[in-house]
Amino acid sequence: MGASYFLGIDTGTSGSKGVLVDLKGRIISSYTTRHTLLQPQPGWAEHDPETHWWGDFLTIVHHCLQEVQVNPQDIAGISFSGLVPNLCPLGADGRPVRPAILYRDNRAVKESQEINRLFNLSLGTAEVTPKLLWFKRHEPEHYRQTRVVLNAHSYLVYKLTGKFSTDCDTANIFGGIFDHRRCQWRTDLVAAMGLDPAMLPPVYRPTDIVGRVTPEAARITGLSPGIPVVAGNGDSFMSLLGAGVIHPGEAMIYFGTAGTMLICLTNLDQIASGPAISSGQVKFLANILTGGELTRWFREQVMLTSTPPDYADLEKMAQKISPGSEGLIILPHFMGERTPVVNPQARGIILGLTTAHTGAHLYRALMEAFGYALRDSYEQTKIPLKRVVATGGGARSQLWRQIVTDILGLPLEYTAKGDAALGNAYFAGYALGYFPNFEGIKNEWLQVEEVTTVNPTAHQFYEYYFGLYQILNKKLAPVYPQLAQLPGII
C-alpha cells in the first residue's frame, strides 16, 4: 500500500496523547494516557521518564496499531513534542539516573540568582542550567554518573533511534548556554559555570531526521524498523501548529496543566527549522504555571471524596454561580509566577471566602483566576490580535472558554480536533516533504467548530474584579519572600 500515515505524539505534564493520521488529516486512531506529577517537596515537580514518558508511549502505540489493525510499514514518519525545558539525566547505560526535574520545578532559586549575578544573565528557575548546578551540588554522585541531559521528546527519540539529540529551539531555552545564530552550545560558558559541556546532547533542527526506528525498538513497540523519526520541538510550537495558528497576528491560549498565550509574529512555517518559539518570532503573551492544574487540584485534593467528581458535574455546579463567584478572588500562583513577572516564591491566595461559599464558588473562582492571570500578562504586551484560538484539554469546557472570553474581552475560536499531537503528525509529513507548507493543516485538516463571543454584561462585571486582582497581586508581592522563610516552606 505504501506509506500512508503519520504518528504524532505529545508528552505533557499530566498525560500523553498520540494520533495516527492519514494524508488527508483524518485521525485513524488516537489515545490519551494520564500520569501523575511527582512532588516530593513543595515547589518541586518531577516525572519518571521510563514510566511517564516511555510507558505512555508504549501504551499509545500499542492501542493505535491494534485499534484499526494498521500495518506498521504504512507509517511514513514520527514526530514528538513535549513539556520543556526539563533536566532528564541519563547514565552511560542510557537509563535515567534519577527522576526528571520539570520546567515548573522551583528548587534552583539560589542557583539561578548566583548564575545571573556572576554571568550577567536573567535566568529563572524554569531553565535547565540552574537545575544542573543544583543537581551537581545536591546529588554529586548522580551528577558524576550522568552521560547526557535530555528532555521528554528527545528522550523518546533516543528510545526509538538510539541517538541522543535536542532540537535547537529547546536548546535555546536551556538557560543562556546556546548560541542560536551558530546553532551550537556555548561550551566555554558552560565550563565557566563549573558544569560539564559533555553532558549536552547533539543539536538538530526540529525538521531534521535524527534517526530511524531500530530493530530493538521495533520489537518492543510493534513499529516497523526504519521508520524516520524527526527531532520535533517543544509542546508550544506543536500546539500552535495543531491549532492552525500559523500566521502573523494569530494567537493561541493553551488550557493545559500549565496555561500559555502565544502569538505568531511571522508565518510559522518560515521558522519551522528553528529556533521558533525562542527566536522572538513567536512571543509568549502569558505563561501561567497552574492552568488546568488548578481544576485538577480542586477535584482530587479539595473535594475529599472517595471517587472524585466528573469535571462535567463540577462545571454544571460552577455554571450556576454568577461571574465573580460572589466575592471570591484567587491568585493562581500555586507553583510560583512566571508572567508578567518572574517570582518562584509567589503562592496561591484565596480572598473573600465566607461560610456562604460552596465548592462550586471555589471551582468557578479558580477558572476565573486563570483568566485574570492571562489578562494581567497580556495587557503588559499591548500587541493587537487578529484571531485567538483556544486549545488544550481545559478548552473542552465551554464554561471556561466563556469565562476567559469575558475577562479578556476577546472572542475565542475552538476546534476539538486541534492539539499538539495533531501538530506533530502534520509536522512529520512536512519534515519528510509530504506537505510544502503549513496551510494544509489550517485549511484542510482543521475546521472551527465554535466561536465563543464576549458577553458585554459579564465583561463589565469582570472589569471591577480584575482591578481588585491586580491590586491584590501587587500588594502581596513583598509577603512571598517572608513566607518562603518560614520553617518547612520551600
Packing angle between helix 398-408 and helix 456-476, nearest 10 degrees?
80
| pLDDT tens digits, 86-130 | 999 999 999 999 999 999 999 999 999 999 999 999 999 999 999
With vertex at residue 239, the alpha carbon angle to CA 237 and CA 34, rounded to the nearest 5 degrees, is 120
One-letter identity of residue 124: G
The pLDDT tens digits of the residues spanning 182-217 come to: 999 999 999 999 999 999 999 999 999 999 999 999
In the chain, where the domains are located: 5-234, 244-414+455-484
Cell of 382: 499591548
Determine phi and psi for 236, rounding to 5 degrees: -65, -45
C-alpha dist (Å) from residue 112 to 106, 115, 135: 10, 5, 12
Residues 432-472 have pLDDT tens digits of: 999 999 999 999 999 999 999 999 999 999 999 999 999 99
Q: Count of CB atoms within 10 A of residue 37's CB?
A: 17
Q: How many Å apart are CA 398 and CA 390, to the nearest integer?
A: 11
pLDDT of residue 490: 53
pLDDT at 3 over 80: no
490 CB neighbour count, 10 Å cutoff: 12
Alpha helices, H only, 20-78: 56-67
In the DSSP assignment, the letter for residue 393 is G
Closest listed residue to residue 107, CA positions, set 140, 134, 137, 133: 134
Residue 307: is its pLDDT beyond 90?
no
pLDDT tens for 62-86 read 999 999 888 999 999 999 999 999 9
User: What's CA 96's distance to the chain center, in Å?
Assistant: 21
Which of 265, 267, 243, 266 shows the shortest CA–CA distance to 253?
Answer: 243
Q: Which residue has the cell 505504501?
A: 2
Same fold for the pair 5-234 and 244-414+455-484: yes
Q: Which CATH class is domain 244-414+455-484?
A: alpha beta
The per-residue pLDDT for range 261-279, each reduced to its tens digit, is 999 999 999 999 999 987 7
Are 391 and 255 a contacting pair, CB within 8 Å? yes
**Cis upstream peptide for 85 (omega within 30°):** yes
Within 104-214, residue ranges assigned H as helices are 109-119, 128-138, 140-145, 152-161, 168-171, 187-192
Which of 44, 38, 37, 113 is closest to 490 using CA atoms?
44
Tell me the whole-structure pTM to 2 decimals: 0.94
Residue pLDDT, tens place only, 223-243: 999 999 999 999 999 999 999
pLDDT tens digits for 308-347? Answer: 899 999 999 999 999 999 999 999 999 999 999 999 999 9
pLDDT score recorded for residue 32 = 97
CA distance 356 to 32: 38
- Measured CA to CA, the distance from residue 246 to residue 72 in angstroms comes to 31
Nearest to 439 by CA among 200, 255, 269, 278: 269
User: What is the CA angle 278-194-108, rounded to 5?
Assistant: 60
What pLDDT was estimated at residue 486?
86
Rounded Cα–Cα distance for residues 255 and 472 (Å): 24
Residue 28 in grid coordinates: 485513524
E-state strands within 376-446: 387-391, 412-414
3-class DSSP state for residue 169? helix
CB 312: neighbour CB atoms within 10 A?
Answer: 9
Q: What is the pLDDT of residues 39-67, one digit of tens each?
A: 999 889 999 999 999 999 999 999 999 99
Q: What residue has cell string 509567589? A: 346
Q: Which residue in 249, 238, 266, 153 sits closest to 423, CA to CA?
A: 238
Question: Is CATH 3.30.465.10 the classification given to domain 5-234?
Answer: no
Average pLDDT, the chain: 95
* Burial per residue of 372-390, b for 16 or more beta-carbon CB atoms within 10 angstroms, e otherwise: bbbbbbbeebeeeeebbbb
